[in-house]
């Protein structure tokens, strides 16, 4: 498993070693087909399909319900995956346990009532310490948010570990379900907008009736979800052994990938989300570059259907109307507050907080200390997931990011599947610089599945 996306990481050596590796791969694939792994896969599919349908309104009840679905489903899937049956998944390796332990210990320290740590590291202003009734007991200013964040992180880590160990047939089922949900979101968003629907599923009022946003209350969150899945919705038509699609004639694959791309691209751009639209286009460009560069060794697939899919999506968006997006690209007054928030976080908050962290989920509490009166609204997220993560988790958070980054680099190699995942991940990484989609369960579970798969080496064994 060398680092970097080079041709040598894709091509297989010729001769006897190749046949030996192929036999081992086939043997591993048969061994990983077991009831536990398949049950875990189905649970994750159901959770991944349910969560986008629960994003119609962000209130305490729906946020708690979606968190319960994510955490409960992930833990059940994890238990089913390791249940001792034929084809059960191997226990987590040392790197998975290291990430879990490091994160859990950091959170434990943040919520334990340790007076010395509270006085030394607590993110509380000096003025409060002079008040006689002020007596904080925890490092984290919001223990409830910290514990909820820990539960969500462990659930997502479990989903990523399951994806890391699944065989191609099981992963293909996941990708097909996610691509279908992306197309459904596009169809629902465009049709609801065209019909002038006032509600989402007749339950929640549509917050942005002038724009396309599917079953999401926020058009930016909707656009980020589609940007993450847009390349995958095209790639599933060309991945061999894909259920329902793998054996279709080439003409039907071209038509299907084109239609899926047009639906998703038109809905994404019609959402008028500037960052989401830019991220979606950027992700598709990454897919085109990777597919074009390695087309000769990706099982002979031609690249022109991918170009056709992107061009078709842009034509579909123009036909449906990109005027709202163009108007928002020319207007900056609605989003300038985000840049002010970033500036306040970097200049007004103590630099040492970025070293030790303020506590997971603590951004909302600490930002109120420096939020000026001219910035209206309630900022429960920083609209910059990377900056918020570093503020809340400090050096521990940076180390965790470094571990994941090294793992992705060491496992880097290409296939049609991985091109789609790399491209979607690149799109959502761009979104993370100006929004909070990495905090949304519907997007989080897809991201966990992508990362878990991308952390697999080319010769990884998936079952015991």
pLDDT, tens only, 285-340: 888 888 877 766 555 455 666 667 767 666 665 555 554 544 554 454 545 577 78
Distance CA 277, CA 224 (A): 8
In a domain, 156, yes or no: yes
- Summarised one tens digit per residue, pLDDT across range 355-413 is 999 999 999 888 888 887 777 666 788 889 999 999 999 999 999 999 999 999 999 98
* Confidence at 254, pLDDT banded by 50, 70, 90: confident
Residue 55 lies in a domain: yes
Of the candidates 361, 454, 404, 301, the one whose C-alpha atom is nearest the C-alpha of residue 63 is 361
Q: With H, G, I as helix, E, B as strand and everything else as coil, classify residue 205.
A: strand
pLDDT number for residue 255 = 86
Please indicate, yes or no, if residue 464 is contained in any of the structural domains: no
In a domain, 433, yes or no: yes
Residue 206 lies in a domain: yes
Residue 463 lies in a domain: no
| Cross-strand pairs, 199 | 205
Structural domain range at position 131: 7-454
DSSP 274-290: HHHHHHHHHHHHHHHHH
Which residue bears the tokens 């309630």? 378
User: How many structural domains is the chain composed of?
Assistant: 1
Q: Is residue 1 part of a domain?
A: no
pLDDT tens by residue, 124-170: 887 777 777 777 889 999 999 999 999 999 999 999 999 999 999 99
Q: Please report the pLDDT score of residue 336 as a whole number.
A: 58
DSSP-assigned beta bridge partners for residue 200 = 204
| Mean pLDDT along residues 28-48 | 79
What is the mean predicted confidence (pLDDT) over 4-11? 42
- Count of CB atoms situated within 10 Å of the CB of 250: 12
Task: For residue 374, tell me if it sits in a domain.
Answer: yes
């Amino acid at each position: 498993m060398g680092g970097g996306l080079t041709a040598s990481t894709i091509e297989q050596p010729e001769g006897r070693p190749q046949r030996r590796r192929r036999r081992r791969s086939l043997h591993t694939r048969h061994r990983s087909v077991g009831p536990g792994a398949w049950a875990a896969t189905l649970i994750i599919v159901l959770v991944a399909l349910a969560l986008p349908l629960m994003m119609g309104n962000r209130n305490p009840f729906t946020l708690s319900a979606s968190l319960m679905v994510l955490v409960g489903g992930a833990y059940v899937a994890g238990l089913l995956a390791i249940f001792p049956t034929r084809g059960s998944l191997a226990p987590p390796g040392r790197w998975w346990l290291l990430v879990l332990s490091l994160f859990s210990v950091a959170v434990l320290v943040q919520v334990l009532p340790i007076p010395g740590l509270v006085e030394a590291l607590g993110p509380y202003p000096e003025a409060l310490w002079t008040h006689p009734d002020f007596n904080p007991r925890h490092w984290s200013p919001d223990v409830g948010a910290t514990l909820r964040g820990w539960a969500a992180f462990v659930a997502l880590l479990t989903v990523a570990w399951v994806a890391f160990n699944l065989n191609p047939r099981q992963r293909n089922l996941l990708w097909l379900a996610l691509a279908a949900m992306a197309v459904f979101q596009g169809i629902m968003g465009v049709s609801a907008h065209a019909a002038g629907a006032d509600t989402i599923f007749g339950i929640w009022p549509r917050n942005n009736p002038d724009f396309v946003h599917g079953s999401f209350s926020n058009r930016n969150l909707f656009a980020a979800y589609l940007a993450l899945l847009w390349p995958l919705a095209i790639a599933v038509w060309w991945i061999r052994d894909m259920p329902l699609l793998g054996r279709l004639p080439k003409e039907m694959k071209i038509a299907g990938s084109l239609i899926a791309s047009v639906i998703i691209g038109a809905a994404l751009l019609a959402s008028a989300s500037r960052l989401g639209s830019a991220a979606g286009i950027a992700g598709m460009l990454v897919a085109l570059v990777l597919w074009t560069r390695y087309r000769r060794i990706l099982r002979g697939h031609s690249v022109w259907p991918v170009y056709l899919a992107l061009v078709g999506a842009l034509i579909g968006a123009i036909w449906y109307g990109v005027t709202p997006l163009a108007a928002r690209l020319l207007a900056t007054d609605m989003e300038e507050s985000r840049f002010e928030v970033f500036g306040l976080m970097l200049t007004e908050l103590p630099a040492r907080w970025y070293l030790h962290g303020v506590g997971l989920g603590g951004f909302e509490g600490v930002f109120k200390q420096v939020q000026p009166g001219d910035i209206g609204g309630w900022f429960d997220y920083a609209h910059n997931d990377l900056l918020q993560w570093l503020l809340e988790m400090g050096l521990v958070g940076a180390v965790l990011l470094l571990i994941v980054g090294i793992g992705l680099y060491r496992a880097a190699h290409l296939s049609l599947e991985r091109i789609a995942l790399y491209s979607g991940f690149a799109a959502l990484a761009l979104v993370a610089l100006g929004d909070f989609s990495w905090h949304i369960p519907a997007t989080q579970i897809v991201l966990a599945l992508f990362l878990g798969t991308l952390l697999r080496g080319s010769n990884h064994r998936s079952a015991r």
